[in-house]
Chains A and B, each alone.
Chain A
Amino acid sequence: MSEIKIENVTKRFGSFTAVNNVSLTITDHEFMVLLGPSGCGKTTLLRAVAGLGMADEGRISIGGKDVTYLPPRERRISMVFQSYAIFPHMNVFDNIAFGLTMQKLPRAEIQTRVRQAAELLHIEQMLDRYPSKMSGGQRQRVAVARAIAMQSQVLLMDEPLSNLDALLRLEMRAELKRLLAELGATTIYVTHDQIEAMSMGDRIAVMRDGIIEQVNTPTTVYDYPANQFIGGFIGTPPMNFLMGQVQRRDGSVVVQLGDHSVAPKPEMASLLAGYDGKPIILGIRAESMETLASPAGDALMACVLVVEPLGSQNLLTVAFGAHRIKVSTHPSFETRADADVWLRFPADKIRWIDPEAKRTLYPK
């Protein structure tokens, strides 16, 4: 059992509140990603769990044991650091063995565990090399091997892939995901890269300004963002936001986008009715819109500004009224700059966002 429970944790640096009354439970064997822009407090929260920066308020427990004020070595965790933090004066073997040596395990046991960890990361050929003679990717592997050799129930990772180049990161991402799934350790993984978060996490906790804004599975966070920030932060390109106006017309509710009117889903209608006459934000993802090359009654006309062929899709930047939005189309969809296209907004793909609270509206 190694559930991590974070309860009402606050951490301040001077007058700056880095983590503000955060609660989060990571269940046993779960892979939790802390995602957020830099300065959102995700690393601070991770360090509070690691014991490298004690929480000012609140309580942290690991496997039912209160660790809030324990030093790192008594928390039975292991960690991968952003800069890898492998020891330059030790060879790869001694680096991986470091934690085991500190536990004063028998030599034979250390030997086996180091070999196992090294083999899992394909660095068994490099055990007597020194870090200065290794590439970034190899050092990264040493750092991960050192962490998993501990066989601890809890694994903390602070942006472990952010120092690798793009191609290596892509490769390591999949490898790491598989490895961690095999190990089954309860993992907290900090990243600012939303693609990494989407692709790896069992659940994602999206943080901003010291607060967790949403915790859910990657697909839920992507499809049902809790607020405008999350919709805009997750996904490439980010969600489009259009300002519309709610109007009640003889019993039904429509949202006016300029001359075009959009009908919301029936279960949303009653919720939107409360906004009668008021503005509302329509959020929709680039790939959720239907793009037509010719006019249709229920479609909105827009002018193409830019066409970016990306191979697997064509990304269009289109304009209508004062709005600029991104639309992705099938690569076979033919259009060019300055041409007109017609967009259809499928009602179940639209998210309605309160323009003041910036919260997404969902039916009860």
Chain B
Amino acid sequence: MTALNSTQVSAEMARLRARARRRMLLSRVFTYLVGILIAIWVLAPLWFIASMALTTPETVRSYPKSVLPFIPFSFETMRFFLQSRGIVPGVINSVLVAVITLILSTLIAAPAGYATSRYIFRGRDAFRLSILAVRAFPVVILSIPLAVTFINLGIFDQVYSLALMHTALTLPTTVLVIGSVFASIPYELEEAAQVFGCTPAQAFRRVVLPLVLPGIAAAAIFTFVMSWNEVFAATVLTVQNRTLPAQVLVSLQQSPEPYKFAGGFFMLLPSVIFIFVIRKYLFNMWGQITK
């Protein structure tokens, strides 16, 4: 009797376990399915652009477009794009603006991030809010008065004045990211360093700096990408010295399809690569725990 009971019980247990396992499998399949869908939604256009950019201009012009990518594989389209008027100076300008923005933004944001994450001071919240407030205004509202101001100051249509604008635009994110990087370093580490013989400055240099450097580098790269991608302010604030996105944007209407695909591909390449490299720090920014 008991033996029968126990077999019944174990059969029931097995059934329950199998059901639980099935349910778990199902939910995992569902998660992956959604993940794959999102990935396709993001990656398909990138793939399409890449496949068009890396083939011959004739293939790009043909219609209907081939679904099979890279056939025939060729750098012809890219060469055509890069040889178009204003592209090489545009690239140089873009890199210059992005590098100046990166340097300015990091130099300002590192101490600001440290202060907002380490100290509670009068006006801290107002300071954070004012940084964010820059992003609250559409770039269009900021750009046009700024263009007028720049003309009056005689610094309109300059690479460095655009870099100033980009610095203002990227600062909110950079301060937040760098602030979260500092916040992830427990203050107790600095205190421990001080107990074991460091001055506050030495504690910062020997303990905090080595720990935050990768995060700050990530924030700097992110700044670079934001500046590299920024098109609106660049279009308003430059005329002769256009950055690459501004150059591509203004010539978009009159240009042939190979130009568009190659331009798109050329511009998204650095972003995709850099974001991929620093992705774990960007997750950090939203509070996800990463090892």
Name A residues whose Cβ lies closer than 8 Å to a Cβ of B.
50-52, 71-73, 77-79, 81-83, 85-89, 98-99, 102-103, 132, 146, 150
Contacts and interface: CB of A to CB of B under 8 A. Distances in A.
B199 A99 contact: no
Nearest to A80: B192
B198 A102 contact: yes
B198 A81 contact: no
Contacts of A83: 186, 188
Contact of A73 (B186, B189, B197): B197
A85 B186 contact: yes
Contact of A85 (B188, B198, B211): B188
Contact of A78 (B191, B195, B207, B291): B195
Given A87-B207, A89-B210, A99 B196 contact: yes
Given A85-B186, A89-B210, A89-B211, A52 B196 contact: no
Contact of A98 (B191, B193, B199, B211): B193
Contacts of A81: 188, 191-192
Nearest to A150: B196
Contacts of A52: 191, 194-195
Interface residues of B, number: 17
Contact of B198 (A73, A79, A89, A146): A73
Most buried by A among B193, B195, B199, B210: B195
B68 to A, nearest CB: 46
B186 A79 contact: no
B5 to A, nearest CB: 31
Say what secondary structure dominates the interface of chain B: helix
Contacts of B210: 89
B196 A71 contact: no
Contacts of A79: 192, 195
Interface in B244-291: 291
A86 B211 CA distance: 12
Most buried by B among A73, A99, A146, A150: A73
A272 B170 CA distance: 76
Contacts of B189: 85, 87
A360 to B, nearest CB: 38
B174 to A, nearest CB: 23
Contact of A146 (B194, B196, B199): B196
A47 to B, nearest CB: 9
Nearest to A97: B196
Contacts of B202: 102
Nearest to A89: B210
B224 to A, nearest CB: 25
Contacts of B207: 87, 89
Most buried by A among B193, B196, B291: B196
A78 B188 CA distance: 14
B186 to A, nearest CB: 6
B212 to A, nearest CB: 10
A133 to B, nearest CB: 11
